[in-house]
Amino acid sequence: MRTIRADGEHETEVKKSRFLCALRRVGTEEQARAFVAERKKQYWNASHNCSAFVLGRWSDVERSNDDGEPSGTAGVPMLEVLRRRELTDVVAVVTRWFGGTRLGAGGLVRAYGGAVAEAVDAVGVVELRDVGVFAVESGHAGAGRLENELRGSRFELLGVGYGAGVRFEVGVPDGEEPAFAAWLAETTGGGAEAERVGTRVVEVPL
Boundaries of every domain in the chain? 2-123, 129-205
pLDDT tens digits for range 34-57: 999 999 999 999 999 999 999 998
Confidence at 9, pLDDT banded by 50, 70, 90: very high
Torsion of CA 23, 33, 89, 111, to 10 degrees: -40
What residues pair up with 194 in beta bridges, in sequence order? 136
Map residue 91 onto helix, strand or coil: strand
CATH architecture of 2-123: 2-Layer Sandwich (3.30)
Nearest CA to 171 out of 190, 197, 205 is that of 197
pLDDT at 135: 95
Q: Is the pTM of this model over 0.85?
A: no
Residue 82 clears pLDDT 90, i.e. is over it: yes
What angle (nearest 5°) sits at the alpha carbon of residue 121, between those of residues 115 and 126?
130
Contact 111, 142 (CB under 8 A): no
DSSP 124: -
pLDDT tens digits for range 104-123: 999 999 999 999 999 999 99
Nearest CA to 197 out of 159, 163, 145, 165 is that of 159
- Residues of 38-57 as b/e, b for ≥16 C-beta within 10 angstroms? ebbeebeebbbbbbbbbbee
pLDDT at 12: 97
Residue 206 clears pLDDT 90, i.e. is over it: no
> Regarding the domain delimited by 129-205, which CATH topology (the fold level of the hierarchy) does it fall under?
Alpha-Beta Plaits (3.30.70)
Those residues whose C-beta lies under 8 Å from the C-beta of residue 81, and which sit 6 or more positions away, are 92, 113, 116, 117, 120
pLDDT at 86: 96
